[in-house]
Structure 1
Amino acid sequence: MSDPSTTTTSTTTSTATVTRLLQRQILPIDRDTDVFPLYVDLEEAKLDTDRHAVGGDKAAKDLNNAAIRQSTSTGKKLHPDQIRSRTALQLRPSQPLSFGTYFNAFPASYWRRHTVVTDVDLTVDVVGAGSVVIVYKSMARGHAQRVDSAVVEGEGDDARGSFSFSLPLKPFVDGGWYWYDVVAGDHGAVVEGAEWTAQVPADRAEHGTVDVCITTMLPDMSAQLLGQLGDAEELQPYLDTVMVMDQGKDKVTDSAFFPAAQAGLGDKLRVIVQGNLGGSGGYARGQLESVRKGTATYAMMMDDDVVCEPEGIIRAVTFGDLAKRPTIVGGHMFNLYSRSELHSFGEIVQPWRFWWQTRLDGYSQWDFGARNLRSSRWLHKRADVDFNGWFMCLIPRVVLEEVGLSLPVFIKWDDSEFGLRAKEAGYPTVSFPGAAVWHVPWTDKNDGVDWQSYFHHRNRIIAALLHSPYERGGRMVRESLNHQIKHLASLQYSTAELRHLAMEDVLRGPHALHGELATKLAEINAFRKQFSDAQLHTDRDELPPVRRKKPPKKGKSDIEIPGRKATLIAAGLAPLRQLRPVREMAEDYPEAELTAMDAGWFNLARYDSAVVSMNDGSSVALYKRDPVLYRDLLKRTLEIHRRFHREWPALAQQYRDALGEITSPEAWEKTFAPWTDPADRPADTSEAT
């Protein structure tokens, strides 16, 4: 059986080329109606207003942003039975349907900007007399243009048409997509399949292979993910090894889902057991094994708690194969609980603040079920990024060999720092439409104030020291101070202490990172248990009831969001208020009970004690004001931030000088030594280290 990604070679007078499959029409594997809008679209296109027409007036921009978020869906549904197979879809008589969707539109601008492909050919196979295929393209501003069309000739249900369209990529320098719509004939239609192909240089004929690297502490979810990879028949030729770095107490091999996963992947599956070294330690192990093995073209980082669209891996590999230069190809993240909702279409690190965010002219938490691709103007401009999250990210082996492996930082910022490091070395990252996983959304987590706050803060500072273009990190130090005071005013003393500890550890220098990788989490958890705001209770009745001597001033509600003026006044007064004595009764009874969504600093700062629920809805904690601890923490906060401002340039140079060493395979081999079979280690490891 021939490789489905290539066909016969043709030779011109100057260059040999080969036809290569870039993308094919796909439909949901499980026929889940929640994800239908990502594959097919029954809605009309209602393009939103161009932001350049709106202008720069803030009120006008706010109104336009609100309008853009409004749903245009009319609720039209495709019946699951209309999905005939992974590639075939049945349409009812006269039914119109668009394949201008996330998984089936062709992201022309990305291919135009980053690959050797200059023209594509679209072939659509349709059964059903009188059925019409219409090809469209969009420009960077979202305007759609009709390109070509064809009609199935003949009579009867079995009339068949196979239509090919030659489509240039030249006009897509800033953005734009190709897609096709189908309108069924009087007796219905079946869209049997569609393929996007291109003539590429003959030396790009063979597809690369990938080592999928999964770090896990969740045996069932990771085993189910392995099952998804093993069940995808078309994916198998692209897989070199699927490596699971098992760092949990309960092992993936003991999961009830593991035998089926093992049967599906066979000898391509490798489980590596090691201590809990966090995501960075797990991914670095996969990267190291992939580099040392040297048989795969790419290593793909993938979270364990995801649902994968296997076709996305094939597309990422294909795009990487045809890229002009070695390119990191990232996937997008959809919400596992609201499956048509996209977390972000492309992320950057804002250099002055040095904080990750959705690109400035984009939107996060975008629901394709409410507003389709063809109606969303901003999605048509190409999204250029600084990095891609390691929930799904394909890294060429040659990039790992040149720029090194992950930073040894346990969790947080390892993926974004790697993207910045690779970018500085000349290797871009592309967050590639059509490659995606479904993942638990960040909004359902509490990682800004729990034990993870230590890693958030420490690793953000380290990444800024390594890559900030500003002499003292831009706004980094000042923003750190502002956030620290905010946590103190919010009675989040455990978070403030962990952030302070993070800054102290940064000052210890880069060479301490490897040594504490396996121990820091336990130290953090033991340390934070002394603070009431870190002691979580699953039963609210374990804490005292709400009581207070005086009612709220003027009956003010905790769900009110203050305006700009009130917020500025509160920000100025909140730190001073923390110096006052604690009110009567607040030591024994909480003064309020706040839901997670209403627990903003401007509300928390008003109370001497409060019961606060966590973002995941599973527990509550008691926040209690402590003026003595507040004074001590505030003093230390001011001192350490002055020190960072003073020492930033020298500290940055220290970290930059050490980067190549601490991310080297040799440094990571030492860290992995307790969990490495000596027979698996290179013969020259001792000399190299």
Structure 2
Amino acid sequence: MNHALHNLVLPGLDFGAPAELYARVDGNCRVSLAQRKLYFKTGGRVAFDTYFNGFSVDTWKRVCGISSLSLSLCGQGSFVARIGLHRASHEHTRAGHRLRPVQRWWDEREIELRDGEPGGFDLPCWDQIETGMLYLELEALGEGRLDSGFFATTSPPPHRVKLGIVITHFNRKQYVLPAIRRIADGLRNQPEWLDRIGLVVVDNSRTIDPAEAVGATLIPSRNLGGSGGFARGLLYLQDQGSYTHALFMDDDASCELESIFRTYALLGYARVPKLAVAGSLLREDEPYRLFEKSAKFDGACRSLKSGLDLRRVDDLLEAERTEVRPDYGAWWFFAFPIAETRYYPFPYFVRGDDVMFGITNDFAIHTLNGIGGWGGDFGIKKSPWTSYLDMRSHLLNSMVLRNKSVTFLAVLFAYNLGRQLFSYNYASARAINLALAHLLEGAGFWRRNIDTLAIRAEIAAFSGAEALVPLDALDFAAVHREDKPESWLRRLGRIVTMNGFLVPGGWLDARVLYQSKGFYGSAKDIFLYRRVLYQCEGLGIGYLANHDKRLFFTELMRGVRLMWVLLRQGQRLRAEYRSAVAELASPAFWRGVFATDARSATE
């Protein structure tokens, strides 16, 4: 009996991704995006050495111990099927080492496909291959069609897996309802998955009607953010008793269903019980560009493999190279074993909970090309609220998880505060100050503010200046500064004048400077400009920020006072938080929270 490991994913319309992520076709091969099929004329060729369809030898041999491999195809027509391999080789150049893909063919067969009769063959070359990306190439000997295909093994999975998908939702029905339908329909269309994979939606906004969530277990809940939503879903899976693994997914992260099925196969064949699977995130605005393939945390979140072009074979090989062990996988797609989960989410609400969850549970995190989805630009999403969330989680995670010195924490805080002040983002600077003030209150703060309701209201009250509104740079005749090296004299002037805040207002350039919206502006470009237009590229929205000495020095002095308190009380806080994490990130803590909510609902 064959056990599917890796299904071919043909290009479609669902996500607007380029076809090169799925298949490389020539002029005699036509892609039907609506049908997700390939049509061939005589001589037409397709190669599957792509992000979604390249078969990772290292993963399936080293991580899963797969000892046999075969290929099955469905369609119609006569083809030559070739099995190729790309592996990475290091080339020495004058500029240093460069990764160069090396290709060779391992097998070639003529294969006849008939409607309703899958065709295929064993791959004896599997015994001889140790590393690289295995792939299929098809050449049509006449007119033909390819409907589907998969790599399989005769070895049964050593582990029984029942995977519970948990999606947390808040007021984003336009995103979550299509995701529910896509997953539920995909499971119904392949009935063998119905008793293997379940879908749980924790509705933090309590706006989804059960009739809208057919195929999912719907759990209405108070809005406790992603932390509370995923904790609620994890408790449900644990209490059911039949689930072995959980998969956390955001409601705004879109993925191919094969990412879920491939994850299931990985977990079933995993050689180590602590194996967790972190899905990649690709950028929605550049759907071939890798944003993150798991991450490290050393006081800052360091995305691994960021920026790779996943249409390129050399970048695909680079994405699969493992130089460092990941610390965590973000919750746009993170699967893990329930039995190996000692710590539940810390009540961060959102931001930073995935970091602490991954590190405290010490999962053996693995990534794989073809497992992942697309998400929006985090720089565009940046706001005073996210600045607050990021600052407090970075400080606490650095303090507790990485044992960073109090001096490091103070520098981390000052650096982030300064970036916003010099960007004229005074609301974000105020939010960063508020984050440290709340951290200094100790562990009791988190118990009192688990829903962040009062905090969100407080920050919303002063965030108006950074609200995104329709704006056009042409209306302001905004200046675009050329990106060129800065002279030492100009840099010295910026330092001496605190980037222009010690310069009389009358000396400032009255023109509007253009900056692409991101996490912060460029201090060297903003220097001596009175106004800055932050605009989201291609979206026609943004906001205007102004040089304001009063707001600058108000937040600067508030930050200095808070930093002084941190330096004096940091060691005491570290001891308090280390003790508190074991409680606040425990199943018992969350059971108490949800039990209180249930009692309140009945009163």
1:93 is aligned to: 42
Contact 1:176 1:381 in 2 (8 A): no
2:106 is aligned to: 148
**Among candidates 22, 32, 37, match of residue 5 of structure 2:** 22
| Structure 1 residue 225, shift from structure 2 partner | 0.6
2: CA distance, partners of 1:277 / 1:202: 37
Contact 1:152 1:160 in 2 (8 A): no
2:351 matched to 1:406?
A: no
**Among candidates 196, 199, 220, match of residue 242 of structure 1:** 199
**Among candidates 181, 192, 199, match of residue 137 of structure 2:** 181
2:194 matched to 1:271?
A: no
2:337 matched to 1:388?
A: no
| Structure 1 residue 459, shift from structure 2 partner | 0.7
1: CA distance, partners of 2:265 / 2:306: 27
1:526 is aligned to: 458
1: CA distance, partners of 2:16 / 2:157: 41
* AA at the equivalent of 1:197: A
**Among candidates 327, 330, 339, match of residue 287 of structure 2:** 339
Structure 1, unmatched stretches of 5+, are 1-6, 8-18, 44-75, 548-555, 681-689
Contact 2:279 2:372 in 1 (8 A): yes
* AA at the equivalent of 1:231: D
**Among candidates 137, 148, 151, match of residue 196 of structure 1:** 151
**Among candidates 627, 630, 638, match of residue 552 of structure 2:** 630
2:244 is aligned to: 297
1:460 is aligned to: 394
Alignment of 1:43-54 (within 5 A): none
Please give the secondary structure, in 1, of the residue aligned with 2:348.
coil
| Structure 1 residue 413, shift from structure 2 partner | 1.2
* AA at the equivalent of 1:100: D
1:512 is aligned to: 445
Residue deviations 1:112-145 (CA, integer Å, cap 9, x gap): 3322434433445675446242332424655334
Identity score, percent: 18
| Structure 1 residue 207, shift from structure 2 partner | 4.0
- Structure 1 pair 225/610, CA: closer, same or farther in 2 (3 Å)? same
2:195 matched to 1:253?
A: no
Alignment of 1:286-325 (within 5 A): 286-324=233-271, 325=273
| Structure 1 residue 642, shift from structure 2 partner | 4.0
CA RMSD, Structure 1 to Structure 2 (Å): 3.7
1: CA distance, partners of 2:113 / 2:239: 60
1: CA distance, partners of 2:112 / 2:425: 73
2:178 is aligned to: 224
Could you tell me the TM-score, scaled by structure 1's length?
A: 0.75
1:551 is aligned to: none
2:578 matched to 1:656?
A: yes
Structure 2, unmatched stretches of 5+, are 90-98
Q: Which has the higher strand share?
A: 2
2: CA distance, partners of 1:21 / 1:98: 20
* AA at the equivalent of 1:438: W
Contact 2:345 2:354 in 1 (8 A): yes
1: CA distance, partners of 2:68 / 2:381: 46
| Structure 1 residue 503, shift from structure 2 partner | 0.8
Please give the secondary structure, in 2, of the residue aligned with 1:592.
strand
1:451 is aligned to: 385
Please give the secondary structure, in 2, of the residue aligned with 1:131.
strand
**Among candidates 367, 372, 377, match of residue 312 of structure 2:** 372
- Structure 1 pair 137/663, CA: closer, same or farther in 2 (3 Å)? same
Matched residues, number:
584
- Structure 1 pair 167/441, CA: closer, same or farther in 2 (3 Å)? farther
Contact 2:18 2:288 in 1 (8 A): yes
* AA at the equivalent of 2:553: R
1:71 is aligned to: none
2: CA distance, partners of 1:329 / 1:238: 21
Contact 2:531 2:544 in 1 (8 A): yes
2:433 matched to 1:500?
A: yes
| Structure 1 residue 157, shift from structure 2 partner | 12
* AA at the equivalent of 1:176: G
- Structure 1 pair 77/481, CA: closer, same or farther in 2 (3 Å)? farther
| Structure 1 residue 159, shift from structure 2 partner | 12
2:525 matched to 1:603?
A: yes
Contact 1:491 1:605 in 2 (8 A): no
1:69 is aligned to: none
| Structure 1 residue 36, shift from structure 2 partner | 1.9
